[in-house]
């Protein structure tokens, strides 16, 4: 750590001025970023660091989205302050990471990830046999930090205080042209971090753009390096790909580059099943619609849908062997999850939710009032109804019945009660709104006609009319 601090001080002291032609500065009138879309907490982090004499900028995907006019989901900050210098400046801040040390500054539910400017590889970083960097905590200048970022459209620095954007690699121009271009030698950069190949596909799909030919050239030959990526990072990147807002294009690009074999190997198996292509396409189309509408996407639901065709095929095989419905489905689910959970790095909490969604499907077949009430109390009831809509759209389930279940899921409690009572009356063959008849009390001939028994507390009986 002392070695890094000394390097940072020396780089600041002797840093050569950046040639003007390599450093473009865009004013607010040029980049047109709407400051109202910027997190107030990210602005505060930059203001605090700048007040203490440090440089501080919003970086990464947030700047990319802001230039395009979108509201970012997450905000990262880059600064020339070291993690040890950043942490004392904020009440709730902690240093995290081994390979890439940074600071999480916490504001309630929002975390502003704050990193120190990094220097490009000088050949002394720890790497594995394939060239993947295992330790990346060599601090540097802003220009060096820009050079070590992956793509030009991610090497933009936004100062929310004076509202300028600093660009070292023509990233603004590439962004406006929807072009994904690697900074530096693509093959070397992909070897340093194979996830960059997936990021190239995701950015091109999200922007509805293209990968620059030189950047695209080595991807197919290096696709096998994806196997070296830790499971947790791979799962996060797969999820980002499928929720980029243009998942179908991303999947097509993955297959084109040969990346799907190490990222989503199940896709080929799913597409080979009867109706598999239709189910996957419909799932991704509806996912894209939710993303574009600013709605959240459940990873459990998404992977339950992608794996359903494999589960369904095995379920039907088990049923053909005269096994009971629920045990047959349970065995099919176990088989598919055991075969794919490690390849997809799906967390166990997601697989538990996937099972709930799958196991509720047979229960939709029979509308038994007592069971319906129990189903509505299940945490994944709404997700299971959405899943049922997918099945109905693919002609697996009666669409009218599927709509009844969706109406029930959307109804407030009082309306749910009315729907279930109406169903009960329909099944019993009685009118739904028929009033209940009150049984008349039979008069007791032993008692006086002038009143009821005092001990019974009953009302006096009505005397007979005179003829």
pLDDT at 346: 79
Tell me if 209 sits within 8 A of 200, measured CB to CB.
no
Q: Mapping DSSP to helix (H, G, I), strand (E, B) and coil, where does residue 70 land?
A: coil
- Residue in the structure block whose two tokens are 């660091």: 49
Residues 6+ apart with CB under 8 A from 107: 41, 44, 92
Alpha helices in 119-259 (DSSP H): 142-148, 171-176, 186-192, 195-206, 213-216, 219-222, 231-242, 247-257
Hey, which bits of 62-122 come out as E strands? 76-79, 93-96, 102-107, 110-116
Cα diameter, the chain: 123
pLDDT at 265: 73
Structural tokens at position 341: 């959970």
Residue 123: count of CB within 10 angstroms of its CB: 5
pLDDT at 120: 73
Structural tokens at position 166: 């600093």
pLDDT in tens, the chain (467 residues): 444 444 444 444 444 444 444 789 999 999 999 999 999 999 999 999 999 999 999 999 999 999 999 999 899 999 999 999 999 999 999 999 876 789 999 999 999 999 999 987 655 555 555 545 445 568 899 999 999 899 999 999 999 999 999 999 999 999 999 999 999 999 999 998 999 999 999 999 999 999 999 999 999 999 999 988 888 888 889 899 999 999 989 988 998 888 988 777 777 788 888 888 899 999 999 999 999 888 889 999 999 999 999 999 999 999 999 889 999 999 999 999 888 776 677 778 889 999 999 999 999 998 988 899 999 999 999 999 999 999 999 999 999 999 999 999 999 999 999 999 999 988 887 665 544 454 555 555 554 443 443 333 443 333 334 33
Please identify every residue annotated as catalytic: 74, 76, 150
pLDDT at 125: 53
Query: Looking at the chain, how many residues does it have?
Result: 467
Structural tokens at position 182: 């690697």
Q: What share of residues in the chain are helix, strand, coil (percent, to 5)?
A: 55, 10, 35
**What are the residue ranges spanned by the domains of the chain?**
1-177, 185-264
**CATH for 1-177 (3.20.20.450, 3.40.720.10, 3.40.50.620, 3.30.460.10):** 3.30.460.10
Residues 6+ apart with CB under 8 A from 395: none
Tell me if 204 sits within 8 A of 174, measured CB to CB.
no
- Burial class (CB within 10 angstroms; exposed 0-12, middle 13-18, buried 19+) of 3: exposed
Question: How far apart are alpha carbons 168 and 148 in whole angstroms?
Answer: 11
- Residue in the structure block whose two tokens are 């970086």: 59
Question: How far apart are alpha carbons 237 and 298 in whole angstroms?
Answer: 15
Residues 6+ apart with CB under 8 A from 134: 99, 125, 126, 127, 128
Residues 6+ apart with CB under 8 A from 176: 67
Angle between helices 299-320 and 276-292 (to 10 degrees): 160
pLDDT at 461: 39
- Residue in the structure block whose two tokens are 């060599």: 138
pLDDT at 443: 55
Q: Which CATH class is domain 185-264?
A: mainly alpha
Which helix (H) or strand (E) covers residue 350, if one does? helix 348-359
Question: How far apart are alpha carbons 114 and 57 in whole angstroms?
Answer: 10
């Amino acid at each position: 750590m002392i070695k890094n601090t000394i390097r940072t001080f020396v780089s600041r002291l002797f840093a050569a001025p950046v040639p003007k032609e390599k450093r473009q500065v865009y004013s607010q009138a040029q980049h047109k970023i709407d400051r109202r879309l910027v997190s107030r907490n990210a602005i505060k982090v930059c203001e605090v660091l700048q007040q203490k004499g440090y440089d501080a900028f919003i970086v990464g995907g947030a700047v990319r989205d802001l230039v395009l006019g979108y509201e970012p989901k997450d905000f990262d900050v880059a600064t020339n302050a070291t993690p040890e210098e950043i942490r004392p400046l904020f009440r709730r801040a902690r240093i995290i990471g081994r390979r890439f040390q940074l600071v999480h500054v916490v504001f309630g539910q929002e975390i502003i990830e704050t990193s120190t400017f990094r220097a490009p590889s000088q050949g002394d970083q720890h790497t594995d046999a394939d060239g993947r960097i295992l330790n990346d905590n060599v601090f540097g200048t802003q220009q060096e930090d820009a050079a070590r970022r992956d793509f030009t459209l991610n090497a933009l620095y936004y100062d929310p205080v004076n509202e300028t954007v600093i660009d070292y690699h023509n990233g603004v121009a590439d962004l406006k042209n929807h072009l994904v271009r690697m900074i530096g030698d693509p093959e070397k950069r992909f070897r340093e971090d194979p996830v960059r190949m997936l990021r190239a596909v995701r950015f091109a799909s999200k922007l509805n753009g293209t990968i620059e030919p030189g950047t695209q050239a080595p991807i197919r030959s290096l696709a096998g390096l994806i196997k070296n990526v830790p499971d947790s990072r791979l799962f996060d990147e797969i999820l980002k790909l499928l929720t980029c807002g243009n998942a179908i294009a991303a999947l097509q690009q993955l297959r084109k580059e040969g990346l799907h074999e190490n990222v989503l190997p199940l896709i080929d198996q799913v597409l080979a099943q009867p109706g598999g292509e239709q189910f996957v396409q419909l799932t991704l189309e509806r996912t894209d619609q939710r993303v574009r509408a600013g709605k959240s996407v459940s990873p459990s639901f998404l992977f339950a849908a992608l794996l359903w065709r494999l589960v369904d095929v095995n379920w039907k095989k088990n049923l053909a062997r005269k096994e009971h419905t629920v045990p047959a489905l349970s065995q099919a689910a176990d088989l598919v999850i055991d075969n794919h959970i490690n390849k997809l790095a799906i967390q166990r909490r997601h697989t538990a939710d996937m099972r709930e969604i799958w196991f509720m499907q047979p229960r939709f077949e029979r509308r038994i009032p007592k069971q319906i009430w129990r189903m509505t109390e299940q945490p994944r009831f709404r997700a299971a109804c959405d899943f049922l809509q997918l099945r109905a759209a693919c002609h697996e389930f009666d669409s009218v019945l599927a709509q009844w279940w969706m109406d029930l899921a959307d109804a407030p409690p009082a309306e749910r009660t009315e729907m279930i009572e109406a169903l009960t009356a329909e099944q019993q063959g009685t009118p739904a709104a028929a009033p209940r008849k009150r049984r008349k009390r039979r008069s007791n001939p032993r008692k006086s006609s002038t009143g009821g028994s005092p001990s019974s507390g009953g009302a006096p009986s009505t005397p007979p009319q005179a003829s």
